[in-house]
Amino acid sequence: MMEARAALTVDAVRIREVGPRDGLQVEAPLSVEDRIRLIEALVAAGLKTIEAVAFVSPKAVPSMADAEKVVALLPKLDGVTWVGLVPNRKGAEMALDAGLDAISVTLSASEGYNQRNVRMSVDDSIDQLRDICGLAGEAWVEAVLSCSFGSPYEGDIAPSEVAAVARRCMDAGATALTLADTTGMATPRRIEEVLAATGTRVGLHLHDTRGTALLNAHTAYLAGVRDFDTAVGGLGGSPFAEGATGNLATEDLVYLMEDLGVETGVDLDRLLDASRLVAELVGHPVPSRVAAAGPRLNNPA
């Protein structure tokens, strides 16, 4: 799968932080000011690509309302890319009008999930993706393919079928593609099977529903994947899939990568500050294990 993502010349991974979007979408709505506080804490931790908002129906996802207000207050910083998730052409128009230069288009390898999530067929989503790529000009358009490792509605989806939908997204003009494990159905074996069909020039968006997210990320890293979505604290989940739970926690991935000597650009201590802040804002502890335990004490040199 050829993508516009540059190859990395050093041993590093790129993290797209989705906490302000995926992480907050199933929580009670926060104020615009608190959403900005969280975003600022993530920037302070070194995150360079942040999915800050979703341009979706506020009736469908109340906590994602007021995306324009959040975008207007985003800090103007060189080297930080702000991403908005969109479900359709209307959302993309709103995101581009608001001034975003990167959008994630959510669609699915699963017909049942696509219908519930964005209320159209997979074919219609791909048609809208093609329109969006036409509107987007130079903006980055990431196609994010939900349920790539299995669907709560259809069960297993053949890797060849996932690869075929991924190919159609790229043919429609997407800049890059992310495979999402929306309800945590991936396992290391399934990660390897799907990557064998799609190639490893893809991003991964993992959920820890069954405790396999970090294991899956490690497997994918060893296979050659270098782009990961994570959410601070391990918050998150889809309101449109029963039993969906949190994302791979940013602090858990950073902790593992640091130990492997792989650059993330993220300062774990500052990230844990952001994690404490998000727990305070949502009013409950976060699922991340590293957030609970703290970093390990390294032996003095």
Report the C-alpha gap between 301 and 294 in whole angstroms: 20
Instruction: Candidates 17, 19, 22, 178: give the one binding Zn ion (CB under 5 A).
Output: 22
137 SS3 class: coil
Asked whether 55 and 67 are in contact (CB, 8 A), the reply is: yes
Q: HSE (CB half, 13 Å, CA atoms) of 280?
A: 11
Task: State both tokens at 267.
Answer: 């300062």
Tell me whether residue 22 or residue 142 sits nearer to Zn ion (CB atom): 22
Q: Which residues pair with 107 in a beta bridge?
A: 145
Q: Which does 231 bind (CB under 5 to 8 A by kind): ligand COA, Zn ion, none?
A: none
Tell me whether residue 60 or residue 223 sits nearer to ligand COA (CB atom): 60
Tell me whether residue 88 or residue 288 sits nearer to ligand COA (CB atom): 88
| Residue 142 parent element (H or E) | strand 140-146
CB of 205 to Zn ion, least distance (A): 6
Residue 143 CA to its chain's centroid (Å)? 11
CB of 29 to ligand COA, least distance (A): 14
Tell me whether residue 25 or residue 216 sits nearer to ligand COA (CB atom): 25
Task: State both tokens at 144.
Answer: 């994010």
Q: What is the DSSP letter of 64?
A: G
Report the C-alpha gap between 287 and 45 in whole angstroms: 19
Q: Which residues of 142-161 are buried (b: 16+ CB within 10 A; e: fewer)?
A: bbbbbbbbbbbbeeebebee
Task: Please report where in the chains the tokens 């799609």 appear, as a residue.
Answer: 198
User: Does residue 181 bind Zn ion (CB under 5 A)?
Assistant: no
Q: Which residues bind ligand COA (CB under 6 A)?
A: 25, 54-57, 60-61, 85-88, 90-91, 106, 117-119, 238, 240
User: Does residue 17 bind Zn ion (CB under 5 A)?
Assistant: no
Report the C-alpha gap between 61 and 96 in whole angstroms: 20
CB of 76 to ligand COA, least distance (A): 24
Q: Which residues pair with 178 in a beta bridge?
A: 144, 203
CB of 274 to ligand COA, least distance (A): 21
Region near Zn ion per CB under 5 A, out of 17-25, 111-119, 248-256, 278-286: 17-25
Tell me whether residue 105 or residue 254 sits nearer to ligand COA (CB atom): 105
CB of 214 to Zn ion, least distance (A): 15
Q: Which does 240 bind (CB under 5 to 8 A by kind): ligand COA, Zn ion, none?
A: ligand COA
Q: Are strands 203-205 and 81-86 parallel, antiparallel or unpaired?
A: unpaired
Task: State both tokens at 200.
Answer: 């490893």
Q: Which does 57 bind (CB under 5 to 8 A by kind): ligand COA, Zn ion, none?
A: ligand COA
Tell me whether residue 22 or residue 208 sits nearer to Zn ion (CB atom): 22
Tell me whether residue 57 or residue 200 sits nearer to ligand COA (CB atom): 57
Q: Which does 277 bind (CB under 5 to 8 A by kind): ligand COA, Zn ion, none?
A: none
